[in-house]
Amino acid sequence: MNLLELKDVWKTYTMGDNKVHALQGISLQIKPKDFVAILGPSGSGKSTAMNIVGCLDMPTQGTVLLDGKDISKMSENELARARGKKIGFVFQKFNLIPTLSALQNVMLPMLFQGVGEDSRIKRATQLLKVVGLGDRIHHKPTELSGGQQQRVAISRALVNDPNIILADEPTGNLDSVTGHQVVDTLKKLNKQGKTVIMVTHEPKLAKHAKRQVRIEDGKIARRR
C-alpha cells in the first residue's frame, strides 16, 4: 500500500476576479522506503505541492490519501494527530524556537502526542547524540551554527518516529559542505527505512533521490 497518494489534485486560489491554478491535476504515489525529490523553479507550484503532500493544506479538488485514509474526511484534530505522528518536517529556515534549548526544541512535538516528560527527555537526548550534538543539548539556536541548527531540526522531525520525512529546501541556508552533510543524513535515514520527500529547486540536490518529480506551471512535467 502507498504511504501517501495524490489523485488528480488541484489547488486553486481566488484573487479578486481571477482564479490561479497553483496545482493542476497532479497524481503522485509515495511508497514505503521511497526517496522522492519534488523539483521545480520558483513559482512552479512545488511549495503548494509540499503543503498538500505534508497534509498542511487541503486540495480544492482531488483526493489525498495518508496511509489509505482520505484526509478530507478527518477532523482537524484527527488530521493534526496523524500529521504529527506520521510526518516529520524539516524546513529551510529550521523553524526552531529561539528561546528554547536544542533539547527542548526536539522534545516539543512529543508534548502534543501526550508523551511523558521522562520519555521526552530520554528520546530527545538520544537523537541529539545520534546527530553529533550530545554536547550541545542545552544550547539555544543562536548559540549553534546553521548546520547544527538543521541537525536539531532533523532530530525534531524524527522524534515521534514518523514514517515520512518531508524536507523543504533542507540545504537552502547552508554552505555546500554542510549541505552535503545534511543530504547524507537524509540518505542514511532512507537506508534505515524512512520514506524521504525532499522539495528543492536544485537539480544537483535532486539527483541524490531515488526518484525525481519535476513540477512546472502546476503540472508534473517529468518523472524519472
Give domain status of residue 12, yes or no: no
The reply to whether 68 falls in a domain is no
Is residue 156 scored above 90 in pLDDT?
yes
Looking at the DSSP assignment, which residues form a beta bridge with residue 89? 166
CATH number at residue 77: 3.40.50.300
What is the number of structural domains in the chain? 1
Residue 117 lies in a domain: yes
Position 124 scores a pLDDT of: 95
Residue with cell 514514517: 163
The answer to whether residue 184 is domain-embedded is yes
- Residue 64 belongs to a domain: no
Residue 197 lies in a domain: yes
Residue 22 domain flag: no
pLDDT band at 131 (very low <50, low <70, confident <90, very high): confident
Q: Please check whether residue 17 lies inside any domain of the structure.
A: no
**Whole-prediction pTM:** 0.89
SS3 64: strand
**How much is the pLDDT for 92?**
82
Residue 144, C-alpha cell as written in the block:
549553534
Domain of 106 in residue numbering reads as 31-59+73-223
CA distance 102 to 163: 23
Question: 166: pLDDT confidence band, cut at 50, 70 and 90?
Answer: very high
Spatial strand order in the sheet of 35-39: 87-90, 164-168, 195-200, 35-39, 211-216, 219-223
Find out whether 156 and 94 touch, Cβ atoms under 8 Å: no
**Mean pLDDT estimate for the chain:** 92
Instruction: Provide the pLDDT for residue 130.
Output: 86
Question: pLDDT digit string (tens) for 69-120?
Answer: 999 999 988 988 888 889 999 988 889 999 999 999 999 999 888 889 999 9
Phi, psi at residue 75, to the nearest 5°? -70, 165
pLDDT per residue over 174-222, tens digit each? 888 888 888 888 999 999 999 999 999 889 889 999 999 999 999 999 8
